[in-house]
Amino acid sequence: MSANTLVLDCRNVAAYYELDYGIRVRAVDNVSLSVRKGEIVGLAGESGCGKTTLMRTIYRDIAPPLRLVSGVVRLQSANGEFIDVYGLSEAELKKMRAKVISYIPQGSMSVLNPTSRIRSQFLEIFQKYGRVDKNEALRQVKERLRELGLRESILASYPHQLSGGMRQRTVIALATIMNPSIVLADEPTSALDVVYQRGVVEMIQKIREMYGTSFILVSHDMGLHYQASDRIAIMYAGKIIEVGNTDDVFKEPLHPYTEGLINSLPRIGGSKKLEGLSGLPPSLANPPPGCRFHPRCPYRMEKCSAEEPPFFTVGDRQVACWLLEGK
Ligand SMILES: Nc1ncnc2c1ncn2[C@@H]1O[C@H](COP(=O)(O)OP(=O)(O)O)[C@@H](O)[C@H]1O
Ligand SMILES: [Mg+2]
């Protein structure tokens, strides 16, 4: 696979929560996103914008009240095989998980089984997916821990005996032990102190370097994206509204929402109060017409409440904002 190979291609995906009284929460609404081999793509946006639902939908972790409405998700495995995620049988889906795509859910500290030692949790994965005996599995686990700079002694520990940062790094080591092509990591650092956050980011970057793994790194924290991601996708009210190279986006955000997110970041040494975002994201049961951001947008025009903006391409950036029309 060349460096430009697409590992994940998600096209026009929509997934709604269908609730009682005909309430329909349009949490993921016509989203397209692709990830190249070895790339770390940041998925940003305030809480409630649909980031977690998008990850669940890509992983096909879809159960009522969540319903897949439309779209195609394709993955490419390490041997170049294309996988149509929504076309797989349940058995095929199980087989694909951990080996091609791995998902670290939000609040994943709780993913670890509190009553079992870390060693058993690694071995369980090998039992499920690996084709090697226990000794070989343990050898591989130890080698992996060494490569990732984790102490072998964690294998004998129960989760509660590890620090928060070490627990989160263990979760990532578990999620990547089968060398998946892509990992969906949902807010992997949000529960951690800043000091531990860096350790987690460094580990993700190391895994990418060593094994060519791609990541979607979900976070509401723009500072984390600035540090960690190659490209960034900004999600607002169920839609991706800007995608581009992280450096370019931070240098010159083109969507007013992206600009608001970046301006909300605290700056070291900055004394002047920056214009951040006011208000809150809308209810996705009844989103505003036109551009969903228009009620909060300082630059809104008449058109913005009437017509949904398409994506405009600016260099290698995609921006769904009428301000970019004709530019
Ligand atoms: N189980 C659920 N039932 C109904 N609505 C939900 C459920 N889970 C999430 N939502 C709604 O879907 C929207 C997107 O939520 P979520 O994907 O968790 O966003 P994020 O991860 O960006 O915070 C929100 O409006 C949230 O209230
Ligand atoms: Mg979330």
For residue 288, what is the DSSP state? P
pLDDT in tens, 13-72: 999 999 999 999 999 999 999 999 999 999 999 999 999 999 999 999 999 999 999 999
- Collapsing DSSP states into helix, strand and coil, what is residue 71? strand
Judge if the beta carbon of residue 228 lies within 6 A of ligand 1.
no
CA-nearest residue for atom 16, ligand 1, is 50
**If pLDDT is split at 50, 70 and 90, which confidence band does 246 have?**
very high
Q: How far is CA 156 from the centre of its chain?
A: 30
Q: At CA 53, angle to CA 128 and CA 184, rounded to 5?
A: 45
At residue 131, the pLDDT reads: 83
CA of 153 to the centre of ligand 2 (A): 32
Q: Supply φ then ψ for residue 293, to 5 degrees.
A: -90, -10
pTM for the whole structure: 0.95
Residue among 16, 17, 23, 55 to mutate when testing ligand 1 (max atoms within 8 A of CB): 17
Positive or negative: CA dihedral 109, 94, 216, 46: negative
CA of 221 to the centre of ligand 1 (A): 18
Question: Is 90 exceeded by the pLDDT of residue 272?
Answer: no
Write the DSSP assignment of 9-45 as a string of letters: EEEEEEEEEE-GGG-EEEEEEEEEEEEETT-EEEEE-
Largest CA distance in the chain: 67
Q: How far apart are CA 145 and CA 150, in angstroms?
A: 5
Residues 6+ away with beta carbon under 8 Å from 77: 83, 96, 99, 100, 181
Return the structure tokens found at 115: 């009553």
Question: Is 80 exceeded by the pLDDT of residue 268?
Answer: no
Question: Is 80 exceeded by the pLDDT of residue 247?
Answer: yes
Counting atoms of ligand 1 from 1, which one is nearest the CA of 49?
A: 22
**If pLDDT is split at 50, 70 and 90, which confidence band does 311 have?**
very high
Question: Is 90 exceeded by the pLDDT of residue 3?
Answer: no
- Strands of 276-325 (E only): list them: 312-314, 317-319
pLDDT in tens, 62-98: 999 999 999 999 999 988 899 999 999 999 999 899 8
CA of 46 to the centre of ligand 2 (A): 9
For residue 221, what is the DSSP state? -
Mean pLDDT for 114-130 is 93
Task: Say which residue the tokens 């089984």 belong to.
Answer: 113
CA separation, residue 175 to residues 50, 172, 216 (Å)? 23, 5, 13
At residue 192, the pLDDT reads: 87
Question: Is 80 exceeded by the pLDDT of residue 157?
Answer: yes
Q: How far apart are CA 78 and CA 95, in angstroms?
A: 14
CA-nearest residue for atom 7, ligand 1, is 17
Judge if the beta carbon of residue 53 lies within 6 A of ligand 1.
yes
Positive or negative: CA dihedral 156, 159, 163, 165: positive
Judge if the beta carbon of residue 168 lies within 6 A of ligand 1.
no
For residue 104, what is the DSSP state? E
- CB neighbours (10 Å) of residue 188? 28
Task: Say which residue the tokens 């924290």 belong to.
Answer: 221
At residue 265, the pLDDT reads: 83
Number of residues assigned to the chain? 327
Q: HEC states along 231-287?
A: EEEEEECCEEEEEEEHHHHHHCCCCHHHHHHHHCCCCCCCCCCCCCCCCCCCCCCCC
Percentage of the chain exceeding pLDDT 70: 95
